Amino acid sequence: MSGRNTVIRSLHDLGLAAWFGGSLMGAVGLNGAARQEGGTQTTQARIASAGWTKWMPVSAAAVAAHLYGGGGLLAVNAHRVCSQKGVAGTTTAKTVVTAAALAATAYARVLGKKIELASSPDPQDTEKAAKHPIDTAKAQRQLACVQWAVPALTGSLVVLNALHGEQQRPLEQLHGMWEHARAVTPLLP
């Protein structure tokens, strides 16, 4: 079957773990602390924005590691995707959920940056915010929703990874390949 792919599997899994864990901690811990300690909505937005801005490079690296590892795993397991029944379906599901998680992460960053500019005491930020005015309350409501979508979607990826792991068991591979062969060749029992 397949050989060891420790490096790309580690990049895939560690990247996803950081993406999931960081987004969940931010939604629960960072945003909760900002609400508790911030006082005014502007101060709360500043505190949360400062924390998310510090996290962003780590998050970007985690997402990149996950995507690189995922691409590598897809390349080395292409034969299983084609020949083992069920693997193509879970691979497609993982791809769709990953795309949705990427979109939610990007949208959260866009909304967060808008809120950051609108709440900043820096005159340059205020000037930038004036050029592109936003409804801050609406953006904060949208951000509150999308920040929960990211851990929900990445958590779903963790579950799909567990399913992929189960599909890699030797008996599962044998059964999946037999079922695929039966579907392709209708004369097999």
Three state DSSP letters for 151-164: HHHHHHHHHHHHHH
* pLDDT winner (highest mean) among 1-10, 47-56, 79-88: 47-56
pLDDT of residue 173: 56
Lowest mean pLDDT among 27-31, 108-112, 170-174: 170-174
Q: Which residue did the predictor score with more confidence, 34 or 182?
A: 34
Q: Which residue did the predictor score with more confidence, 118 or 156?
A: 156
pTM: 0.82
For the chain, the helix, strand and coil percentages under 3-state DSSP, each to the nearest 5: 85, 0, 15
Q: What is the rounded average pLDDT of the residues 38-65?
A: 92
**Residue 122 — very low, low, confident or very high, per pLDDT cuts 50/70/90?**
confident
Q: Which residue did the predictor score with more confidence, 22 or 170?
A: 22
* pLDDT tens, residue by residue, 84-106: 778 888 999 999 999 999 999 99
C-alpha span between 175 and 31 (Å, rounded) = 47
The answer to whether residue 179 scores a pLDDT higher than 60 is: yes
pLDDT of residue 56: 94
pLDDT > 70 in the chain, percent: 88
Neighbour-count burial of 1, counting CB atoms closer than 10 A to its CB (0-12 exposed, 13-18 middle, 19+ buried): exposed
**Residue 181 — very low, low, confident or very high, per pLDDT cuts 50/70/90?**
low
Q: Which residues contact 1 (CB under 8 A, 6 or more apart)?
A: 170, 173
pLDDT of residue 148: 96
Lowest mean pLDDT among 72-86, 119-133, 144-158, 165-179: 165-179
